[in-house]
Structure 1
Amino acid sequence: MFNVETYKGTRDDQYELVKKQLKALIEDEPNRIANLSNASSLLNQFLDRVNWVGFYLLEENELVLGPFQGLPACVRIPLGRGVCGTAASDKKTVLVEDVHAFPGHIACDAASRSEIVVPMIKDGQLIGVLDIDSPETNRFDEVDKKHLEEFTAILVNQI
């Protein structure tokens, strides 16, 4: 059974623990939906000042809503559109300090002010994105980017 540990120490230490917890959650589970569901729940519990954590999965050249924690969300996002579509098209993490300043931002939740989207790439192919929103501007930084990319890589290796 999964044991929640207290997040202490530096932000790097805390992220190391959450990555360790992810590995424990998914190591023996082959089901993609179960693993994505637990990963979104784990991040939602770990991260403070966020209002949405979830996944969009690539299906027939568009992103389709997958497991998430938060308010109901946009179901389909075209590649290249909004923050998620841009991260998916470019296959690069997009960190947005203020979503209202991002050209073409898709507002699924009007309360969201900043966002980070990490592409999920397996064997060189895009399979989806991890999307995290915050009701605060400038919520995410390079520490978040580094560790969320590593978190996503751990997850992608299992699914």
Structure 2
Amino acid sequence: MKIEALKPQILEIINQPNLIIREKMQAVCDVLQSKVSTYDWVGFYMAHETAPTLHLWNQAGEPTDHTVIPFGKGICGQVAVSNSNFVVDDVQAQDNYIACSIHVKSEIVIPMFKQGQNIGQIDIDSNTANAFNAKDERFLEWINQLIAAHL
């Protein structure tokens, strides 16, 4: 499915008045992981309020042991420090990669901002090499903006 076609469904989830934000985030993870063939694992890591760590709030796909990630460690930790999108076409080529599954070939991490502060990120793993492009980046930035507005 083309990711742009998911926008109405994502908007419907985010605008559900009877769901709390974490339920909305979980529903977004579930939709992305089930509807986009190259999105094999989808999760939201949120920054701790005082410690320099990311904490897994929601995820869809195989369970992970990586529920707390220090800033600077792995792709997610690097994004927490750099405040920049990170698209990895080949995770094997990364020195600072935290392996969640032997099947993962590529990863995209997009930071989430609220009032100019990096408060978390969406992280997507794919079992396909070179799975992500600029369209994925723009789509995931849009999702993060929607979610941040509700936090």
Q: TM-score, normalised by structure 1?
A: 0.86
1:106: which partner in 2?
A: 98
Amino acid in the other structure paired with 1:98: D
Task: Give secondary structure in 2 for the equivalent of 1:45.
Answer: helix
Opposite residue 125 of structure 2, the aligned amino acid is D
Task: Give 5+ residue unaligned stretches, structure 2.
Answer: none
Identity between Structure 1 and Structure 2 (%): 32
Whether contact under 8 Å (1:99, 1:115) holds in the other structure is: yes
Q: How many Å apart are 1:29 and its aligned residue?
A: 4.7
Match of 1:25 in 2: 13
Alignment of 1:84 onto 2:93? no
- Which of 135, 139, 145 is matched with 1:153 structurally? 145
- Report if the CA contact (8 A) 1:54-1:68 is conserved: yes
Give 1:45's match in structure 2, choosing from 13, 22, 34. 34
1:30-74 Cα shifts (integer Å, max 9, x gaps)? 622111111111211221123211111111210111110011111
2:133 to 141, 151, 156: 141
Name the CA distance, whole Å, in 1 between partners of 2:63 and 2:38.
Answer: 18
**How far is 1:85 from its partner?**
0.8
State the Cα deviation string for residues 110-147 of structure 1 (Å, max 9, x = none): 11110000111111112111000001110111111111
Aligned residues: 147
Using the alignment, how far apart are the partners of 1:42 and 1:128 within structure 2? 19
| Superposition deviation, residue 19 in structure 1 | 2.1
Alpha-carbon distance, 1:86 to partner:
1.0
Aligned-partner SS, 2:45: strand
- Whether contact under 8 Å (2:25, 2:44) holds in the other structure is yes
3-state SS of 2:72 partner: coil
Name the counterpart of 2:56. 65
Q: CA deviation at 1:87?
A: 1.3
Give the whole-Å Cα distance in 2 for the aligned partners of 1:32 and 1:22: 13
Q: Is 1:55–1:65's contact at 8 Å kept on the other side of the alignment? A: yes
**RMSD, aligned CA:** 1.5
Structure 1 residue 84: deviation in Å?
A: 0.6
Check conservation: 1:29, 1:35, Cα contact below 8 A. no
Match of 1:123 in 2: 115
Report the TM-score, using the length of structure 2 for normalisation: 0.90
What letter matches 2:8 in structure 1?
K
